Amino acid sequence: MRAEIVGVLLWIRALRSTRLGESKDPDAKVKRAAEMVLATWKTADKTIDEEKGSYDANYKLMMWTPVWHGMTMARKIVGENTALGRDLANTISLDLEPMLEKAKQIVSQHAGEDGTRRGLVVYDALSNMTE
């Protein structure tokens, strides 16, 4: 399994848990999805190919932003002070957020005057949901 695909599943489960279950995980679906993301993390492609210009960076923003949002939500659901919550926090801060920031910078530099690149739109929409 690919981490970015499992990560979207985590995002959907975390959204559902937050919207319908008051951030509870009685059936442990969020926990299992978070564990699957972390289990597949080492094989995930988190590098940005700068030779492809902003194309690859934009793709990474579109692909990984929902995963970041899902992992952030999952931390709150499973408990920030649990072992899983700490593992998610480390993965987010050491791997995912730096890659997203780099991608965001590259895409922003190459965006048109209106700044409407799909990756930036997704990033802005989901980052506003976490605040």
pLDDT digits (tens, 9 = 90+) for 49-62: 878 878 888 888 88
Residue 1: CB atoms within 10 A of its CB come to 11
Contact 60, 1 (CB under 8 A): no
Nearest to 2 by CA among 48, 49, 41: 41
Provide the whole-model pTM. 0.85
Which tokens go with 30?
């969020």
For 28-77, write each residue's pLDDT tens digit. Answer: 999 999 999 999 999 998 889 878 878 888 888 889 989 999 999 999 99
Residue 110 is predicted with a pLDDT of: 73
